[in-house]
């Protein structure tokens, strides 16, 4: 068989989203790859320019369908900087709780998808079952399972319902026991190590050259975690360790994500204790007058722009489950952001595909791309 191009995507079981990986193969060996993105572009950045600061939150949920609250958090931090608002402390802790639960949900979802890529169908169901508990928790205080619309500029929508923290602790205990089960099903089997060891290697300097962040970078031996390096929200007030590995391969990324989930549980236990001890307001008192949450009517720009509101620019960068996400928001006065720019970690991680795919076999594509944790919603926006 001579060399040929095959299109893995846009509809292909490997893609986990809507994108196209063009692969040039020689027999079973990959000679060249060419990732194509943009099939899921919805113009979220442009739509945001026509929405309220608070209404943009509904769009942020839809950037990444498995990590909606993390993106809400990213956007809210940037817009609070642009609008010169300081959220109350309890809201910051609540946001940390949201983000860590979201990290749990996202990583469990990744686990489910990844094991299917290497041919294990059983843990897929285990992962979905356990992620459902996290979604139940989200539903109990945000009111939705996937599109939460929970955070607001200046705080969060509402406080926790009574009995939430105990319920959350039950779920955390259950999840901790399940993580060991996951490890037994994957790391405990020789076939897993045969499939995943020394696969898809992306060394630290290659990661840095391509802007690859998140678990992929940490598995290459670089312990960079924005929660530690540049703490935002309440991350400087909780204790945790940065997960890391040295092998820079698929197994290393697996280990990093599993360890991150355990660290998330550790953070969550501290945050839940803090929330139990410190009741308080969840919304800032000094909001801009027209930003009293969703009251300000849409379509009244003319009346609002006449009055002088403070201008500003907000930049935020958080450790999203997939890597470092960034948002840049320009506030030119008025009720809509003038410009919202989002930078997705997945975009960079996929862009380096040629570095970590060429030379391996066709059968290695699903595990390698699975270990990248692709979420096309956020890379295409």
Question: Interface residues for other proteins in 49-78 (CB under 8 A)?
Answer: 51-52, 54-55, 58
Smaller CB separation from other proteins, 105 or 252 = 252
CB atoms within 10 A of CB 310: 10
Smallest gap from residue 79 Cβ to other proteins (A): 15
Smaller CB separation from other proteins, 40 or 296 = 296
Residues 6+ apart with CB under 8 A from 162: none
H-run or E-run covering 314: strand 312-320
Smaller CB separation from other proteins, 240 or 274 = 240
* Greatest CA separation for the chain: 70
Q: According to the binding rule CB under 8 A, does residue 287 interact with other proteins?
A: yes
Please compute, for residue 339, the number of CA atoms within 13 A of its CA located in the half-sphere on the CB side: 7
Figure out which of the listed residues 280, 298, 301, 310 binds other proteins, where binding follows CB under 8 A: 298
Q: According to the binding rule CB under 8 A, does residue 310 interact with other proteins?
A: no
β-partners of residue 32 are 24
Smallest gap from residue 172 Cβ to other proteins (A): 9
Residues 6+ apart with CB under 8 A from 236: none
Q: Are 244 and 258 in contact (CB under 8 A)?
A: no
Among the candidate windows 76-84, 95-103, 207-215, 296-304, which touches other proteins by CB under 8 A? 296-304
Figure out which of the listed residues 86, 89, 183, 332 binds other proteins, where binding follows CB under 8 A: 183
H-run or E-run covering 96: helix 89-117
Among the candidate windows 175-183, 202-210, 319-327, 348-356, which touches other proteins by CB under 8 A? 175-183
Among the candidate windows 33-41, 46-54, 85-93, 204-212, which touches other proteins by CB under 8 A? 46-54
> In sequence order, what DSSP letters do the residues of 192-242 get, joined into one string?
HHHHHTT-S---HHHHHHHT--THHHHHTT----HHHHS--TTGGGS----
Q: What part of residues 185-244 is at the interface with other proteins (CB under 8 A)?
A: 185-195, 223, 241-244
Place of tokens 């996400």: 325
Q: What part of residues 2-41 is at the interface with other proteins (CB under 8 A)?
A: 4, 6, 8, 12-14, 28
Q: What part of residues 327-346 is at the interface with other proteins (CB under 8 A)?
A: none
Place of tokens 């958080």: 318
Smallest gap from residue 82 Cβ to other proteins (A): 19
Site string for other proteins, 81-120 (x = CB under 8 A): ----------------------------------xxxxxx
Smaller CB separation from other proteins, 6 or 209 = 6
Identify the three-state secondary structure at position 12. Answer: coil
Smallest gap from residue 189 Cβ to other proteins (A): 4
Q: According to the binding rule CB under 8 A, does residue 177 interact with other proteins?
A: no
With 0-12 / 13-18 / 19 or more C-beta atoms within 10 angstroms meaning exposed / middle / buried, residue 162 is exposed
């Amino acid at each position: 068989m001579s060399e040929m191009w095959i299109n893995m995507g846009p509809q292909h079981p490997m893609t986990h989203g809507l994108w196209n990986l063009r692969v040039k193969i020689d027999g079973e060996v990959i000679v060249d790859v060419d990732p194509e993105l943009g099939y899921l572009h919805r113009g979220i950045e442009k739509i945001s320019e026509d929405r309220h600061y608070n209404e943009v939150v509904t769009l942020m949920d839809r950037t990444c369908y498995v990590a909606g609250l993390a993106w809400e958090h990213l956007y809210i931090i940037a817009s609070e900087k642009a609008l010169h608002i300081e959220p109350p402390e309890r809201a910051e802790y609540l946001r940390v709780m949201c983000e860590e639960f979201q990290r749990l949900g996202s990583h469990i979802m990744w686990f489910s998808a990844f094991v299917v890529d290497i041919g294990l169908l059983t843990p897929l169901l285990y992962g979905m079952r356990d992620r459902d508990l996290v979604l139940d928790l989200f539903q109990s205080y945000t009111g939705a399972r996937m599109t939460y619309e929970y955070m607001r500029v200046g705080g969060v929508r509402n406080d926790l319902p009574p009995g939430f923290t105990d319920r959350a602790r039950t779920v955390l205990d259950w999840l901790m026991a399940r993580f060991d089960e996951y490890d037994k099903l994957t790391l405990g089997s020789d076939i897993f190590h045969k499939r995943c060891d020394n696969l898809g290697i992306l060394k630290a300097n290659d990661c840095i050259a391509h802007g690859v962040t998140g678990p992929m970078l940490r598995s290459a031996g670089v312990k960079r975690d924005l929660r530690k390096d540049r703490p935002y929200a309440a991350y400087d007030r909780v204790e945790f360790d940065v997960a890391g590995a040295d092998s820079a391969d698929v197994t290393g990324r697996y280990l990093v994500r599993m360890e991150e989930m355990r660290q998330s549980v550790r953070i969550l236990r501290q945050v839940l204790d803090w929330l139990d001890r410190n009741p308080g307001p969840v919304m800032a008192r000094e909001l801009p007058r027209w930003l009293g949450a969703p009251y300000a009517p849409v379509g009244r720009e003319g009346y609002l722009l006449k009055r002088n509101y403070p201008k500003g620019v907000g930049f935020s960068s958080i450790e999203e489950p997939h890597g470092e996400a960034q948002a840049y928001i320009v506030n030119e006065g008025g009720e809509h952001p003038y410009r919202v720019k989002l930078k997705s970690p997945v975009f960079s991680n996929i862009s380096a595909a040629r570095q970590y795919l060429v030379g391996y076999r066709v059968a290695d594509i699903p595990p390698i791309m699975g270990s990248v944790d692709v979420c096309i919603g956020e890379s295409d926006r």
